[in-house]
Amino acid sequence: MIFSRIYFMMVTILLEVHSIVDHREKTAFFSKTYTKTVCENEVVELKCAEGMIEVIDAYFGRISAKKCYDGPSADEFDCPSPEGSTHKVQIECNYKRACSIPANIYFFTSGCEMNVSKYLDVTWTCVEGPPYFNRYACEHKELEINCKKKFIKIYEAFYGRTDVFKCNEKANVTVDTNTCLSKVAKTTFEVVKRCEDRHHCKLKVENDVIDSCCDDPCPGIPKFLDVNYFCLSSDEL
């Protein structure tokens, strides 16, 4: 009896210590900030190995003689970033695990002279983010996402098969044929095009709709579309 109580106390202490260490590691990870710089007409890629992107600042223009320097005179270094640059990047990247932003005047516009070489600075952190929702629909069916008065923000989308139980009514999927995926980035992009920033959307789950650029990831195997998404208010966008 005494041994059992001592054992229980030791296990409890170990779990508490592990919880504290895990919390400290998570806090340290989510308190980091990251900054990337790319020159004009390049593409910056933001990623979070854990959590989701939260953009802190974005600057497109020129205030430094050292970054992406190819010869503008000193009086051309003060070239302000267009108003709303940070907000534009936030709309594209917040609450995603990865995103790409083009550093060009078509995305940002510019307050610089055309002959002044510009660059894009983006600073972001990785946050745990709000809870997301999940919906899936089988191949040849329709997937519906409804955020009512809030706005849809797509986190990630999968098309193919990762689960032996979903969409397997005829029991013709075994463990051996249980994993096949189209490119996650491509599938997410297709769903974003059709649903992002809307209150409501419907998607027909077919190869030519979801994976229009690519071959069927697993011919003859019943597939499904699985979408993780947020419902955000206008203040959260």
Tell me the residue ranges of DSSP E strands in the chain: 33-39, 43-47, 52-61, 98-102, 119-127, 133-138, 142-146, 151-161, 180-181, 200-204, 224-232
pLDDT of 25 reads 40
Per run of 10 residues, the mean pLDDT along the chain (length 237 residues) is: 43 37 39 90 91 91 78 60 84 85 86 81 89 89 94 89 78 66 81 93 83 70 89 83
pLDDT of 125 reads 94
Q: Residue 13 is encoded by which pair of tokens?
A: 């202490």
Q: Residue 159 is encoded by which pair of tokens?
A: 């098309």
> Whose CA is closest to 39, among 57, 76, 75, 64?
64
How long is the chain? 237
34 phi/psi in degrees, rounded to 5:
-130, 145
What is the Cβ-side half-sphere exposure of residue 129, based on CA atoms within 13 angstroms?
25
pTM assigned to the model: 0.57
Q: State the DSSP code for 50.
A: S
Residue 224, exposed/middle/buried by CB under 10 A (0-12, 13-18, 19+)?
Answer: buried
All structural domains of the chain, each given as residue ranges with its CATH number in brackets, are 30-127 (2.60.120.740), 133-232 (2.60.120.740)
Evaluated on CA atoms 85, 91, 95, 98, the torsion sign reads: negative
pLDDT of 6 reads 42
Task: Report how far residue 167's alpha carbon sits from residue 137's, in angstroms, rounded to the nearest whole number.
Answer: 8
pLDDT of 42 reads 93
pLDDT of 71 reads 60
Q: Residue 130 is encoded by which pair of tokens?
A: 């709000």
pLDDT of 210 reads 63
pLDDT of 9 reads 44
pLDDT of 163 reads 73
161-187 as b/e: b if 16+ CB within 10 A? beeeebbbeeeebeeeeeeeebeeebb
The CA–CA distances, whole Å, from 14 to 4, 7, 72, 121 equal 15, 11, 61, 44
